[in-house]
Amino acid sequence: MADNKSPKSTLKVKLVRSIAGTRESHRATVRGLGLRKLNSESTLEDTPAVRGMITKVQYLVKVL
């Protein structure tokens, strides 16, 4: 069989607001996106799960 290796689309996400004072579930979501400190960036695959996580904490992150 042929390898079906099409390039995956990716999203680059940056933490632009502090997680201090936010809900614990939102902090966990930010960590799940691979973001630790303020202004940290992470490159993620463009999947429905990742998009849902970004929507949940859209007030804390910026998609580049």
Q: In the chain, what are the domains?
A: 10-63 (3.30.1390.20)
More confident residue, 8 or 46: 46
Contact 27, 19 (CB under 8 A): yes
Element housing 32 (H / E)? helix 24-32
Does 4 have pLDDT greater than 70?
Answer: no
pTM for this entry: 0.86
